[in-house]
Amino acid sequence: MDRLAAIEIYIRVVDTGSFSAAARHYDIGQPAVSKAVAQLEDWLGVKLLLRSTRALTPTEAGQSFYVRARRAVEEADEAVLAARGTAVGLTGKLRVSAAVCFARLHIVPRLPAFMEKHPGLDLELILDDRNIDLVEEGIDLALRMGELIDSNMTAKRIGEARRRVVATPAYFERHRAPKAPSDLLSHRAVIYSRDLGGGENWTFRKDTIDQSVKLEGRVAISATEGLRAAVLSGMGLAVASEWAFSPELRSGEVVSVLDDWVLPSVPLSALYPTGRMASSKARQFAAFVEECLAPEFAPALLGRPGRQRVA
């Protein structure tokens, strides 16, 4: 058995969820794919796949082997290209995790240019507002907003966005716009309950003056998309990351107030699984995102971004 070929076939089977799709990719018969996976299982001494009439699902051992094997194959391919000095675009598969709303507003619209530059690359965007396990899910790169709480990743800060107090002009026609943070006490607020930076409690700074305010609101929402919908409907004002409303702030559909007061900024970080070198694909995609978002995120940077271990 050609072990490397069998490993690559197994990776393709997991990627596609199908023996037949893997067979088409390698232009071989489906029985040959099944045989290669069976031989790999015999060699490893573990069952890699759970087979049913509807789906192929990796076992726990199969998922662990898949993640590490795919990384090893990709690094081997990159080593070959580097040794040859081949000036080609990125190839293979890249799995990137990002928050749903952030990706919809700021990543997906910019993807065509990146994908056109790298025609040999397959990109899978895993959109989820939860902080998923990069190793367990086989993620190469995660783009996360806010302060980091994970301990098993290496992070590079690639930008920061300002927080603003926002609402629709119609809302401020019905409720006088606040002139100072303390005026927020008389307003209806929509609370973003997952914001680790404050939630209901915020400290505003102006020069050397700090004002702490607890927002009052009957509605708390755990997803940015929901917060956007609530604010755009005129339900109330919100403390939100500027990126979450940047299209509406530009168009005037939403306005910000108290702009001479500063709230804690929102960091944007690129995260990689600790314990292994980040792939060239992951690094280049993170650099692409950083470059694209620089006009909106760079002005808020407080010092030079650096690489850090997340505590």
Q: Specify which residues 196 forms β-bridges with.
A: none
Q: Domain segments of the chain: what residues?
A: 3-84, 92-158+267-294, 163-264
Cβ proximity of 158 and 289 under 8 Å? yes
Query: Looking at the domain that runs over 3-84, which CATH code has it been given?
Result: 1.10.10.10
The candidate with the shortest Cα–Cα distance to 154, out of 67, 266, 71, 275, is: 275
What pLDDT, on the 0 to 100 scale, is given for residue 311?
Answer: 28
Query: Residue-wise pLDDT tens for the chain (311 aa)?
Result: 688 889 989 988 888 788 888 888 788 998 999 999 999 999 999 999 988 767 788 899 998 898 888 878 877 777 766 666 555 567 778 889 999 999 999 999 999 999 998 888 889 999 988 777 777 777 889 998 877 765 556 788 888 889 999 999 999 999 999 999 999 988 989 998 876 555 678 899 999 899 999 888 888 898 899 999 999 999 999 999 999 999 999 999 999 999 999 998 888 889 887 655 567 788 889 999 998 887 777 644 333 333 333 32
Structurally, at CATH architecture level, domain 163-264 sits in 3-Layer(aba) Sandwich (3.40)
Side chain identity at residue 179, one-letter code: K
What pLDDT, on the 0 to 100 scale, is given for residue 247?
Answer: 92
How many CB atoms sit inside 10 A of residue 192's CB?
Answer: 25
User: Residue 96 belongs to what H/E stretch?
Assistant: strand 91-98
Cβ proximity of 48 and 37 under 8 Å? yes
Q: Specify which residues 308 forms β-bridges with.
A: 155
Tell the CATH superfamily of the 92-158+267-294 domain. Periplasmic binding protein-like II (3.40.190.10)
What's the distance, CA 65 to chain centroid? 24
Question: Do 3-84 and 92-158+267-294 come out as alike in CATH topology?
Answer: no
Task: Determine the Cα–Cα distance for residues 55 and 104; give it in Å rounded to an integer.
Answer: 29
What pLDDT, on the 0 to 100 scale, is given for residue 274?
Answer: 65
* Distances, alpha carbon 69 to alpha carbons 14, 45, 54, 278, in Å: 12, 16, 25, 15
